[in-house]
Structure 1
């Protein structure tokens, strides 16, 4: 018997089409943003709230939905409006004249909100309509035994905002009917009960937590509050229409955004990076003033810690055309339907106009395979610093921003196509070509900015996959990719890559500039060396210099007391003694002297006065002895001269022997070190590649991969050999030509004395930075919170008096903002007044600063009675930042401890202050570098300046800091920093 049946749909289908279909949480957000764009929203915002139950809200000011829209469109999968191209009527376009190209295609994008969290309250309002709300728990759709038609979702209309909290309990009870049945349909109730019983038994077998129990444990009254609803412009009264999604039990990628950078673990940091890589530049920011662009759609992601808001994604924090134009390599132009590129190219900062690149072949197009015309605007920079024409600031800016904003993106109608531009996607195979020959194929996917622009109308065959994991892999997309790859390859060969003559010419010029910059840095390094030499020479020789001067004074007194010498032998003996003292005096000389001596200026002047006084005595005594010898004629003049000659020759020969021995030892050591460098350089290339050649011989890898590794290693070794061996040759050549490198350096430094003052100012600014680094986000967040609050007030109806007060407050806030941004670093580096600081003062200051963060991390911060009893007379601005930095470091590392009790302690032992923790401690190989500037072992977020500045700050007051590595002297088994305070007292 012939019969017909229809498809039966399980509830799990919704889960497949939504949460499981979408790539990840940030991609889901981008889909919902596109829905807001289709709803003619001007603003769409994702807000993530901390609290006992973290909540996210995704809110917009689009045209909103009526009850009928909610039923027939939002709750109907695969609606026809987007598929048929239905035009949004003018009254629903939010005052936007331009007709927006619809981004949705399949009518399932809204289901991606399941990837944000389990429980969702949807509220929408259409202009001149009532509010409409729907409550969903996406976990209902994970039950494979439940039929889709058996799930009933509660929806309701209401007039005022205040009604929603009263309606929520009833809606939640209605929602629970999908677990227990609602008593209205006995057959449905039986099916529902059996489905959840079967699913529960399955989860028990698989040792999973019961989904049914998890849903039942939801306390709806504690999930959503006014704090969350107020983020929706409709709720706050700033819009008459829009849609808000309020989500609880949110995804881990969302909760990761709530933690401060310094407190994030590896997975949270990766989640943050993925957020920014996916959601930044959602609207194409790389447009010229005369080009079609989107200016009426703004996106943002805001993390709320209490009432403090921190912007993760914002139009202010973006990489736009003004940044893009500073790149040193740019490709910008149009590609026609046959794949011909016509446009402009920038190489090493120089523009070349009317450049064309022909396609690899003539493509035969059919209606279903042609890719259509599109445009490209892509830029990059030289990754190797010595090859870049950029300034240090520009290079550092691009190098840092590439992690957040880098990647070759694809925009459709000026909105991003996912996942292109992310670190894990290389649609145009840029890195694959680069691995073959990095010198020839210079573009690097992570170091590219900008991308390719297509349109829905002009490129109809370039369609998105259902899960938004890229463009469907059809004939059109293959040709589209081939055309782009051909443009990148040809531009690299002709203008930027190793095969380009332009690169050879430009690199010669750039490398010469970098060599000059390096020479300037070397001169500064030598100046520091000379200042250290003078300081150490003064400390070492001043006492001996004074002894020599006293001996000269005694010799002068002998000559004064015996004016009538009648013995040539006595005069000759005195002459010999004078020569020895003069030779010793010359060994104490400080020449050459830099013009700027800084803190040792006073010591140098005292030393110089003693030396000049001694030299003057030598002249006087020598003159007196020579005059006395003239009066005596007992011995021949030649005999007297020969004795003086031999005496002075003896002094000179002694000095020559001394320098010869020192020189030979240094040369011997350097020859040995040079031989080691040569030996290492000879072996390194073979050492690093032998294993890969062995793998190739054993057919464990491919020839292409090994050839790429050989190219990369060759480039690396060529640079290292140049940097390690060339300085030796240059220095030896200078010695052969009798060039006084030290003298040249001092002379050059003396001509640039003014730079010292600037360096001091930079150092003062760095001292400020150590504190600002920690609280910068909080300061910025508070400032922006105030700014947005004032902006909101300005849109409210105020009395004339209130308006005047608001204007005054706004002006004062602006002045305050300007002031804290531009205050002099010297003024911000702290009060110069000294005060008596006790251990309790220091502990209270640091504990108040970190208390909430320490509590959150479960760290105990304590002091001993011995620490409480100490006191120091010093500038607070010199001491407090040191403890702030040390405790901040301890807070970071103690989270890595395997011990249950996380502890940081302040203690005193033998007059020394200890800052100890029970974290992993410092590796023995890293101890020598701890206080070196820019040395850091933090995986991300570390600057490597904190401990260096701690040491400098303390040294300015005569105090010392070091790391205690001896186990018997440690307080705790982790890191132990010890401060030796000058003048420390016990109360």
Structure 2
């Protein structure tokens, strides 16, 4: 065992002294062993290709299993390291490198006997002893057999694999490629056939995505020159797993409703921007509860910090429902509070299994006060070697070395989160009480009132029909009797009897009108069929009554002896008396109801006067010390404030209701209309759910589109420079881009999270539109202008989100411009608003409220999708689009659409 131990120590010593892979390419101190162990964990064989701007190509090929044999001397293992000048030399160099690897095993006994003291003999003896040991442990196939089996075949890398490396393809002048061969179990899950919903497979895939996503600081205002991507090869095909651009970045962070973004100084004081419930609260400061150590060995140093999140419940959030659902998906992929050192991630901080800042631990004590949830936050701590020298990585890059500086960093961030949660976000914070509780109370009260009205209406309707249905049946029977009687009277010409019948008909008609169906809810539930039957019954009775009135009028005209003028006067007086009688009865009923209401509210007010006294009674009975006096007084005032706030809301509602009655507003009709509108919205929602089936198909297409788009673009861009300069190549690339943009427009929420935002200028938008519509502008004699103010704006977003919106708006304008002679379109920017204006006839005022509704259109053969999708698409990034109203700018007299971009610079 002594010899074995010495060999291990010797091997470690030799590894530790090799500080350079190649001349002029230093590795980070103390990191080579970590990198080797990490690579060996992923796959047994690794090929590394590298190229700097100034140096030649370099390559190293390693089979890590060679180092698993403790019976070999490190100096006997040969690892090929080569340099070459051209990328095309890689394949020929790889064959020679594989031959060198093969010299480390597969040696026969005869070869070993020729020179017992040679390297060959030592290798033979080492592998024999190691295989004997493995067989004695019943391990199965020996390591030696595994290595021989792998290297008995050519190295499974071809030129198509190298072509994925931008340096090889001539698209970059520096970079590194890492090829992992014969991947171990976890990594092989990505390429191994099998069910995609297998738990083990999903766990392995999620771990890799979590580990490599956001490897470079996505919240840095200036992105470092560091990019990467992970590719899988399936036979002749390849697929991208992820790239450095697949992140939740700074622009997305600033679009959240809750954000903290700033810096800690050397004393631990924080200063930065705070956004709560979508409201910018400006620059806020934080001072730690205790001073930081100033000892050089313990000092933390200045560092940047940002964090953002959104409300846990849809009922609380200021985001739209679509934004809320989208953010939940983003949180599953990119959520967490990570640590970055010189823009590179320090693992495992930020992963679900490593809550370094104890966010979830605090939530277990009180979720409301702690507020932040680890799985729903996005953010990072940014440190550096120069500013934070005492914050050091562990040997395996698995976190920071435990020392006082690391503990103080943890303390500062935790202290800030606790303090800001109490001040701005969590339960009891003034901001939450101001922006959230009142809104929730209003919404809850409105829902409860609507439900009460709906239930009450249904109950009253059921009672009304049950009470009046016999009266309608009796009225119909009496109408038949009066018709028969009237026929006899007309034949006998009894004038006095006609007047009696006419009087009875007026009374019967008034009784019948009392049975008229009231305004009904849109949703009748199980009363649908009974109500229709009742409505039809009343309708039949009304028609029969109308026929009887006509016959009486004819009878009075035929056999009446009175002067026609007297007959008219008598009829007017009779009808006036009937209306007056109805009003007298209604007034009497109103006064009785109002007196009853007044008495009830007097009793309620008297009871409410005692509420505070009852609530304060415990404080009067208890003993209060001088030290607790301030606290008790605060509790008393708080209780008064709570009761007063509730009572103000309660009595204000009554006063407003009486004001509405005074103004002549029919509250029951208004509530009925609101309920009808709500029911209509529910019906529309069902229709949208049906349309969602189409959305599922678009979702599937979008999922495939993204990967196919990446592959097509990558391969088009890898074509030789002379090919890429041809007109045919440019047209093919533009056609592919146009196709993917149009398909992407149909699935904005699905695709939005997969691409990097970039700075978009007004000049770029205008140039794109001029090129896109060039032929139509000329053929349809349309003048297009983008003002200097518009061309000067800039903001950050996805081109695939913004360009289709402008394309749709211009398409609409050009359709309506065909009906006028003066055809102009102007893009302008005034008062912080972008304007798309045309010289057409404009939008009818009655249509403005419906412009952005799904399927609403006034265009012949239009589908009503464009403006709806534009609003949804822009809302995903908190941009807003609407039709110009009020004081909005209107460059031209026709249609004017206003777009308010988030974070626009003019």
TM-score under structure 1 length normalisation:
0.53
Match of 2:31 in 1: 106
Q: Write the deviation string for residues 461-497 of structure 1: whole angstroms up to 9, x where unpaired.
A: 1111112221011122112212222222222222223
CA distance in 2 between partners of 1:458 and 1:285 (Å): 20
Residue 559 and residue 200 in structure 1: after superposition, are their counterparts in 2 closer, same or farther (change >3 A)?
Answer: farther
- Counterpart contact for 1:150–1:192, Cα < 8 Å: no
Paired residue secondary structure (2:259): strand
The reply on whether 1:272 has 2:200 as its aligned counterpart is: no
The reply on whether 1:380 has 2:314 as its aligned counterpart is: no
Paired residue secondary structure (2:32): coil
CA drift at 1:197: 2.6
Match of 1:592 in 2: 520
- Counterpart contact for 2:196–2:202, Cα < 8 Å: no
CA drift at 1:350: 3.2
- Counterpart contact for 2:131–2:142, Cα < 8 Å: no
Match of 2:148 in 1: 216
CA drift at 1:429: 1.6
The reply on whether 1:464 has 2:398 as its aligned counterpart is: no
- Counterpart contact for 1:78–1:108, Cα < 8 Å: no
Residue 114 and residue 626 in structure 1: after superposition, are their counterparts in 2 closer, same or farther (change >3 A)?
Answer: same
- Counterpart contact for 1:11–1:141, Cα < 8 Å: no
Structure 2 counterpart of 1:405, from 311, 328, 334? 334
Match of 2:277 in 1: 348
Paired residue secondary structure (1:494): helix
Match of 1:188 in 2: 122
- Counterpart contact for 2:258–2:310, Cα < 8 Å: yes
CA drift at 1:519: 7.7
Paired residue secondary structure (2:711): helix
CA distance in 2 between partners of 1:520 and 1:284 (Å): 50
Greater shift in the superposed pair: 750-759 or 119-128: 750-759
CA distance in 1 between partners of 2:200 and 2:76 (Å): 39
Match of 2:411 in 1: 482
The reply on whether 1:616 has 2:614 as its aligned counterpart is: no
- Counterpart contact for 1:328–1:347, Cα < 8 Å: yes
Paired residue secondary structure (1:236): coil
CA distance in 2 between partners of 1:774 and 1:556 (Å): 71
Match of 2:696 in 1: 770
CA distance in 1 between partners of 2:227 and 2:438 (Å): 44
Match of 1:796 in 2: 721
- Counterpart contact for 1:233–1:239, Cα < 8 Å: yes
Residue 410 and residue 554 in structure 1: after superposition, are their counterparts in 2 closer, same or farther (change >3 A)?
Answer: same
Match of 1:421 in 2: 350
Match of 1:314 in 2: 243
Matches within 5 A, 1:751-766: 759=685, 762-763=688-689, 765-766=691-692
> Higher relative CO (CA 8 A, sep ≥ 6), structure 1 or 2?
1
Structure with greater Cα Rg: 2
Residue 344 and residue 781 in structure 1: after superposition, are their counterparts in 2 closer, same or farther (change >3 A)?
Answer: closer
The reply on whether 1:197 has 2:131 as its aligned counterpart is: yes
CA drift at 1:317: 2.8
Paired residue secondary structure (1:330): strand
Residue 517 and residue 375 in structure 1: after superposition, are their counterparts in 2 closer, same or farther (change >3 A)?
Answer: farther
Q: Write the deviation string for residues 912-964 of structure 1: whole angstroms up to 9, x where unpaired.
A: xxxxxxxxxxxxxxxxxxxxxxxxxxxxxxxxxxxxxxxxxxxxxxxxxxxxx
Match of 1:10 in 2: 8
Residue 497 and residue 261 in structure 1: after superposition, are their counterparts in 2 closer, same or farther (change >3 A)?
Answer: farther
Paired residue secondary structure (2:298): coil
CA distance in 1 between partners of 2:370 and 2:126 (Å): 60
Q: Write the deviation string for residues 364-410 of structure 1: whole angstroms up to 9, x where unpaired.
A: 43232222222221222322333333333333333222222111111
CA distance in 2 between partners of 1:212 and 1:580 (Å): 109
Match of 1:323 in 2: 252
Match of 1:814 in 2: 737
Number of matched pairs: 626
Match of 2:788 in 1: none
CA distance in 2 between partners of 1:453 and 1:295 (Å): 13
CA distance in 1 between partners of 2:521 and 2:282 (Å): 55
Residue 134 and residue 282 in structure 1: after superposition, are their counterparts in 2 closer, same or farther (change >3 A)?
Answer: closer
Residue 133 and residue 343 in structure 1: after superposition, are their counterparts in 2 closer, same or farther (change >3 A)?
Answer: closer
Matches within 5 A, 1:626-641: none
Match of 2:180 in 1: 247
CA distance in 2 between partners of 1:589 and 1:12 (Å): 100
- Counterpart contact for 2:215–2:244, Cα < 8 Å: no
Matches within 5 A, 1:147-166: 147-155=73-81, 160-164=89-93, 166=95
Matches within 5 A, 1:37-76: 76=15
- Counterpart contact for 2:359–2:372, Cα < 8 Å: yes
Q: Write the deviation string for residues 813-856 of structure 1: whole angstroms up to 9, x where unpaired.
A: 2222232233599xxxxxxxxxxxxxxxxxxxxxxxxxxxxxxx
Q: Write the deviation string for residues 496-532 of structure 1: whole angstroms up to 9, x where unpaired.
A: 2334333322323442565488689979x979x99xx
Match of 1:747 in 2: 673
Paired residue secondary structure (1:377): strand
CA distance in 2 between partners of 1:228 and 1:134 (Å): 16
Structure 2 counterpart of 1:784, from 710, 717, 721? 710
The reply on whether 1:805 has 2:728 as its aligned counterpart is: yes
CA distance in 1 between partners of 2:446 and 2:202 (Å): 36
CA distance in 2 between partners of 1:360 and 1:790 (Å): 58
CA drift at 1:104: 5.7
Match of 2:757 in 1: none
Matches within 5 A, 1:499-898: 499-512=428-441, 514-515=443-444, 564=490, 592=520, 615-621=542-548, 624=551, 744-748=670-674, 759=685, 762-763=688-689, 765-793=691-719, 796-798=721-723, 803-822=726-745
Residue 762 and residue 194 in structure 1: after superposition, are their counterparts in 2 closer, same or farther (change >3 A)?
Answer: same
CA distance in 2 between partners of 1:186 and 1:79 (Å): 24
Paired residue secondary structure (1:318): coil
CA distance in 1 between partners of 2:701 and 2:119 (Å): 59
CA distance in 2 between partners of 1:145 and 1:346 (Å): 62
CA distance in 1 between partners of 2:129 and 2:27 (Å): 39
- Counterpart contact for 2:702–2:744, Cα < 8 Å: no
CA drift at 1:165: 6.5
Residue 271 and residue 588 in structure 1: after superposition, are their counterparts in 2 closer, same or farther (change >3 A)?
Answer: farther
CA drift at 1:113: 1.0
Paired residue secondary structure (2:718): helix
Match of 1:867 in 2: none
CA drift at 1:156: 5.4
CA distance in 2 between partners of 1:80 and 1:189 (Å): 26
- Counterpart contact for 1:465–1:472, Cα < 8 Å: yes
Residue 336 and residue 194 in structure 1: after superposition, are their counterparts in 2 closer, same or farther (change >3 A)?
Answer: same
Q: Write the deviation string for residues 559-610 of structure 1: whole angstroms up to 9, x where unpaired.
A: 89877578999x999x99999999999999695376x99xxx9xx9999999
TM-score under structure 2 length normalisation:
0.57
CA distance in 2 between partners of 1:331 and 1:799 (Å): 45
Greater shift in the superposed pair: 295-304 or 255-264: 255-264
Residue 198 and residue 578 in structure 1: after superposition, are their counterparts in 2 closer, same or farther (change >3 A)?
Answer: farther
Residue 187 and residue 120 in structure 1: after superposition, are their counterparts in 2 closer, same or farther (change >3 A)?
Answer: same
Paired residue secondary structure (1:220): coil
CA distance in 1 between partners of 2:694 and 2:99 (Å): 56
CA distance in 1 between partners of 2:555 and 2:108 (Å): 123
